[in-house]
Amino acid sequence: MEGSNQSAVTEFVLLGLSAHPKLEKTFFVLILSMYLVILLGNGVLILVTIHDSRLHTPMYFFLGNLSFLDICYTTSSVPLVLDGFLTPRKTISFSGCAMQMFLSFAMGATECVLLGMMAFDRYVAICNPLRYPVVMSKAAYVPMAASSWVAGGINSLVQISLAVQLPFCGDNVINHFISEGRRKAFSTCSAHLTVVVIFYGTILFMYAKPKSKDPWEQTSRMFQTSSSPSSMDS
């Protein structure tokens, strides 16, 4: 705080792409289309995992939570961005900014913990397949998913409760920081994108690859053929 005569900030002015009004409509249509695709894709996955009894397994339960998390994550920020493309004065209140920060931090922390739970689920399925139904029972994986949401909420609550206690005063005009901090933004998003690509790429490889022939099955068939009565008579 440079001076004591500065008033406290009650709202922030987001400039965004106000200097390029023609691009705002284009970005509005583009971002709205992507947002609708996200809602549709994740919504369909959630409905399928709920209504298909064959998918009532820990893996698909965690995938359903991840899809719902993705919906909440994008909904915490995309509607505000879309509204900013249409309204001439792009402002957000101090409390609204704090709420958006809370939701963003909570969803991000929840995703990190949830991905860890999913990794543990796959570890048990691969390394202890015989004990998998006992270890990953419904009484285990439901609290695991719930604890992910609780941990993410508590982590975000602690950060926001400390941040709002700081004095905010002076200039409240915020320019679009992606022209100024592209490297920082890319480094932040690249980690998230890498996790998503590895996660979904591995699943796609597991379920899309052709079924390999079992060498033990071929050996048993050859043994049965060689020991059959017709081969012994010959």
How far apart, in whole angstroms, are the C-alpha atoms of residue 162 and residue 84? 28
Is the pTM for the entire model greater than 0.85? no
11-175 fold: Rhopdopsin 7-helix transmembrane proteins (1.20.1070)
Predicted confidence at residue 192, as pLDDT, reads 61
Question: What stretches of 40-88 adopt beta strand conformation (E)?
Answer: none
User: Which pLDDT band, with edges at 50, 70 and 90, does 84 fall under?
Assistant: confident
φ, ψ at 90 (rounded to 5°) = -100, 95
Query: Which pLDDT belongs to residue 93?
Result: 78
Find residue 173's DSSP bridge partners: 13
Asked if 99 and 151 touch (Cβ cutoff 8 Å), the reply is no
Residue 95 Cα distances to 164, 165, 217, angstroms: 9, 12, 65
Given a contact cutoff of 8 angstroms between Cβ atoms, the answer to whether 121 and 62 are in contact is: yes
pLDDT at 144 over 90: yes
Give percent above pLDDT 70 in the chain.
Answer: 66
